A and B are shown apart, each in its own frame.
Chain A
């Protein structure tokens, strides 16, 4: 597990920079805002302790916030994602639990499993983010459309990212 630390540090910077330098600049009609950085939380090892998970989520959200000039907003949404992750993982666990030494990636537990897991968490994250962004539930339809559009967009990008790392992860 120790050997994974440098890779996660790299992942952290990679996704934050990807988010703030490229994805935040993309604008598709205002309804499609991909937030790919949540992949970092999604792919953390199963055994990650709760406090570390939350701390990493807070730092990750705050870093994205700092660069996109929205202090606290990504942080709050990412924290919710991190808080819910253990419950979702428990719920979607295979019959004999997760094998030690594996990571929550499609290469270990199949594409279907990962999609299920990612859809729920990304949907929750995006929903909370857009609610916090508008800070009211007046235009709830608008928030819903934004959430759905952006979730699909994020998932497609996530799929592309997974294709890149598919082979590498096999070797671990």
Chain B
């Protein structure tokens, strides 16, 4: 004990300093908002941080796999949906004969490159002709239409983004069946223009704009966006409707490529009829 006291006395300068600093530190963290916040958050960070970071790392490695599986399963489920089957309304078609009427096939893909700031925007996908992707297939994400595939290599494919003035998609208003075409006016990354809706159509703000199913690329009824602004240019008999896009193009990640099995057949027939 005496030795301890002697030790304290010998180093009283340092001990006093530490004591005073301790008091100062308590004052700092109890009366200064900013420092207090930093102190509290960093101390709790230290306590819970270790386990959480280990856990997070594990989760991150699993996430990629989980995402891939989920998107594959999504694509599979979408293929099984009633809208993927050719709807025939005559009485004589066989019920349940799925092999002959299966019209749309979905494949999951990941966006590996994407642009939204340019005038002509393209998307690159991580699947190509090896995975059965061909030009003119549609690209969707869970929130709506994304674009159309234009070129494929073995392992990659590029698609015209919806944000590309070269892309025109046949669309209609949900519920009224008036159809027009959607294209981008190269202004905002959130809006596209729906044209060719006749002026006698009923259009309301907030109406859903969906694919019409006439284009042979997309199934009918896939969401494109919502009516945001209705313009009626003078001297024209068509509305010019501003549509707010449903997908957020600046954060595309997983998409699905939709294949119309009867596309060639339809296009060929249409081509022949024109001659």
What residues of chain A have their CB less than 8 Å away from a CB belonging to chain B?
50-51, 54-55, 57-58, 61, 65, 70-73, 75-76, 79-80, 82-83, 86, 132, 135-136
Chain B residues within CB distance 8 Å of chain A: 12-14, 16-17, 20-21, 23-32, 34-35, 38-39
Whether B38 pairs with A72 at a CB distance below 8 angstroms is no
Residues of A within 8 A of B21 (CB): 76, 79-80
Q: Name the prevailing secondary structure of the B interface residues.
A: helix
B32 / chain A contacts, CB cutoff of 8 Å: 70-73
Select which of A58, A71, A86, A132 is within 8 A of B20 by beta carbon.
A58
User: A135-B34, A135-B38 in contact; A72/B25 too (CB < 8 A)?
Assistant: yes
Which 10 A-B pairs give the minimum distances between C-beta atoms? Answer: A72-B27, A50-B13, A72-B28, A76-B24, A71-B31, A75-B24, A72-B24, A83-B17, A71-B27, A135-B35
**B14 surroundings in chain A (CB, below 8 A):** 83
B76 CB to closest chain A CB (Å) equals 47
Query: How many contacts between A and B, using CB within 8 angstroms?
Result: 63
* Chain A neighbourhood of B30, CB < 8 A: 71
B132 to chain A, nearest CB (A): 50
**B28–A79 touching, CB < 8 Å:** no
Cβ A72 vs Cβ B26 within 8 A: yes
Distance to closest chain A CB from B49 (angstroms)? 16
Contact A50 B16 (CB under 8 A): yes
> Separation in Å of the B24 CB from the closest CB of chain A?
4
Docked complex Cα distance between A50 and B21 (Å): 15
Given A51-B13, A72-B27, A132-B28, 6 extra CB contacts under 8 A: A58-B20, A71-B32, A80-B21, A83-B13, A83-B17, A132-B35
